[in-house]
A and B are shown apart, each in its own frame.
Chain A
Amino acid sequence: MDSSEERAADWWPRALQGEAGAAERLVEILYPVVIRIVRNHLPRGLDEEDLAQEVFLKLFAKLGTFRGDQPMEHWVARITRNLCFDHLRKQRRRRELRCADLTEEEEQMLEVILAEEPFHRGRPDGLESCGELLAKLFCTLRPEEERVLRMLDLEGLPVKEIAAVLNWGESRIKVTAFRARRKLQEVLRQLEPGVKGNP
């Protein structure tokens, strides 16, 4: 149990009892956990702060159901991921991506990445563009593949932890990730000439 966990565990009963300032303190402690997941699972067209607020309101509404038998961070992460995936599921429509579907900014970003330069440098809006492009790419995958890759590649969770979250075997996680990455490489390879062909 780390210090932030200890503090969250200290504050949640006080927030439930309606103690002044306890809810605010709990938000401050849990914000880094929530925002990290939100940024890695951000649906298109949604503002990260709005989604984080929605997550916190859901967390507070469910605060009475938290039994304290697991670290609060895990409980918070599970609720955050589920809410993000609910939004992502609602957005799922098409499963094909062509170069014409990319915005000028996304094409530019891909071009920069293909030239092996880090995209974010000097670009404060990098997260939105990167998130939009990733969301378009993830639409070419099956929902469970997207879920695995978002946790494994974007969040950087170890396979063991993802296996525990999804209640899957580690082999299944690895095979799903392998197939999903292969599909994405293929989509990106198809996009490459179009992107490079632009002036």
Chain B
Amino acid sequence: MNQETERIPEEASGIWGKLVESHRETVAARGAEVPFGFALRVAARWREDRAREILQVWERVSLRAAFASSAAVLVVAGLSVFREQAMAAEEELIPVMETRAEEMEWLLL
């Protein structure tokens, strides 16, 4: 810090200093006791906010889970339809053979 700034007083002076002094005295005269019921009120509000936040998280999670499960159901349903169709097509392509000789004949053709 240079010499010039060192000479600047840290305390307020003049009319401003008087105003500051009055303010400090007024603040000190008020004390710092917790007003009756203040702590209970704040804690209750905090718990309410917290419960609301947790509820919102649950809502988001359940919404996502519902979306994921319905997507999974749709995929499974789609796959089973596809599989049934594929199997039906296969049935048409591969005729039912009752004997080994029939099967060999079909393969050689």
Q: What 9 A-B pairs are tightest by C-beta distance, nearest first?
A: A32-B32, A23-B43, A120-B26, A27-B39, A24-B39, A119-B22, A126-B26, A171-B5, A60-B46
Asked whether A174 is an interface residue with its Cβ less than 8 Å from the other chain, the reply is: yes
CB distance B25 to A28 under 8 Å? no
Q: How far is the CB of A148 from chain B (nearest CB, A)?
A: 12
Can you show 28 pairs from A to B with CB atoms below 8 A apart?
A23-B46, A28-B34, A31-B33, A39-B27, A40-B23, A40-B27, A49-B38, A57-B49, A60-B49, A61-B46, A109-B22, A110-B19, A113-B19, A118-B25, A119-B22, A119-B26, A120-B25, A123-B26, A127-B30, A133-B19, A137-B19, A153-B16, A153-B20, A156-B24, A169-B1, A174-B10, A177-B10, A181-B16
Q: Is B12 an interface residue (CB 8 A)?
A: yes
Assess whether B29 is interfacial by the CB under 8 Å rule. yes
B95 at the interface (CB under 8 A from A): no
Chain B interface size band reads: 35 or more
Tell me which residues across on chain B come within 8 A of A77, comparing CB atoms. Answer: none
B27 A36 Cβ-Cβ under 8 A = yes
- Whether A118 contacts B46 in the complex (CB less than 8 A), given A28-B34, A153-B12, comes out as no
Q: Is the interface of B mostly helix, strand, loop or mixed?
A: helix
How many residues of A sit at the interface, in one of the four size bands? 35 or more
Contact B26 A127 (CB under 8 A): yes
Contact A185–B22 (Cβ < 8 Å) = no
Of all chain B residues, which has the CB nearest A171?
Answer: B5
User: Please, how many angstroms separate the alpha-carbon atoms of A141 and B17 in the complex?
Assistant: 16
A38 to B24, CA, bound (A): 13
What separation, in Å, do the CA atoms of A137 and B23 have in the docked complex?
13
Q: Which of A145-199 contact B (CB under 8 A)?
A: 152-154, 156, 158-159, 169-171, 174-175, 177-178, 181, 184-185, 188-189, 192
**Chain A CB within 8 A of B42 CB:** yes
CB distance from B19 to the nearest CB of A (A): 6
* A residues at B contact (CB < 8 Å): 23-25, 27-28, 31-32, 35-36, 39-40, 49, 52-53, 56-57, 60-61, 109-110, 113-114, 116, 118-120, 123, 126-127, 130-131, 133-134, 137, 152-154, 156, 158-159, 169-171, 174-175, 177-178, 181, 184-185, 188-189, 192
